[in-house]
Structure 1
């Protein structure tokens, strides 16, 4: 029926060896409910003013395309109530104004793609939840969805590789909480309004996250659980997912969690650096937490100050004979050694001797190290802000 112009058309309950309706125009619904089609259905480039109705249908074209809806224009594709496709369900660059509804459907294409819909445009929703089962990969690359894309309680079981490819997907919401998934999900460079994942992070399939942008991440779990999810990325360390997660925490006022994420990012990045950069990274981490834990510098300063004050109180440095000098203060003298910029007038006058000279040099070196690490950390944080 290639190129035919039809009104409301129904093959409901029919058994067919195949159906070719490429480039067909249907003024109304195309009804294939409860059909049995052995050789596949071809509606590529068709224009249906109503919806393609597939409730209860069984399309069988194993190892090939069970439904070719490439560039299909319709209100919707409705494949609920026991719809089954043995073979690929292809909706390449289809335009469905009222959504793709596959709740409870079964797609079986173990050696390829169960649902192939790259570039699909849906102003409303794609619903593959509540009993949806796919044996084979699902591809929504570069799809544009105004509402939600749902895989809630779905079963996703590809023979190999990712269960779900959503890179460059644009959607208002993505519900990625399958009941079973034997492969991961590729979310690279997608743009999602609300990303909803499992309440238990251990049930979440591995996610490729580099370049993913989202406005909100649900549910709100402890930051450690989200960091564990990032660490399971099959691509290994990537800086952008950490920055994105920190941005979301900052947007809801959880600045401490945001700093934890950014600190973890620096620690993972450290493993990718040369040995000398890793060594300096360990110093920055231990002293000021890469600038995200500046209170560590105060702890180090107080500990060194207490050590220096104790040592120099017991072993006072001697001033040059016959030279006017201020009253010696072990605390101020230790501060003078520790703080490389501030001068309290003690270090210039009092000179330690013997073993205490090594203590003085140690305090001077530690002061410069703390100051440099603190300055580097603060500069890094301010530059990112």
Structure 2
């Protein structure tokens, strides 16, 4: 039994699924390897959780004194599926499992039609429960192939394929846009968290607009802008991502003279554009996470400041700017963007409120850590 302090107990009672090892009173009883442990308070059962000696976070699986077995995972996956299809009314493509948001810590799974891509960060789950989890997924959903990959954090998981090993590519729909998704590609193949923001952006694009999409990856924002009649320039450091972005433009019937993709460093490309006195009606900034830990937060904010400064300099009318850095909160990000605007000597007028990830990427009231995506829409006033 692992005894926790009152603060951790209250946190769990208030629906938090994460506590810190510093809350453990009898640290000498913590296991030497990753294990499922029983948490107690004043000697009474509180929860079952995943403990990993390599992490300072203990992840709660359940507050019931129940077996962690196939039935446990079946019920959790079934509930996650029903939330997406019955509450959110999503059809074929969505984040089916979002770790603590669905009571399944260390597991993330995106569903692209009949293909699932899972990111897993627990060797314990892989070793003891993955077979049952995969069986449940095939039974509950219409998935035909499931690709398991190692997540960004945690233990290194060997990649595996379950089901139809020849099925790794599909075409998904987002509004009237179509995108090619390859499960063997980067991360989970396509970022679903920006779905609502991409669709909302289309309300602010005019036919004939010149749009700059920085860190465009496989063209999510770019394709939607082009479908509204814009001329699009996309920039990404990955040659492979650019190749897929071009394929997505062709897939949507966008003429080749309406788009141009550049492989290169975003900062260098934007600086060159400013030197050449280029301007864009709309600038979209969707960079990777600059802050991967609290230790590099200062450098990350500096990078966000510079990126937004360059984007604002290039923007004639609108700026759409994003951060997926977990350690950069809403106000920190907004203040950084405003600072960039002062530096660029342009006024920003915020359009609407804060935008975040699509609702299938659940944000629980007790786990603010689940909210990582910040997206701000601005009117740029000269």
- Normalising by the smaller structure, the TM-score range is under 0.3
Larger radius of gyration: 1
Task: Name the structure, 1 or 2, with higher relative contact order (CA <8 Å, separation 6+).
Answer: 2
Normalised by the length of structure 1, the TM-score is 0.25
Give the TM-score, by structure 2 length.
0.25
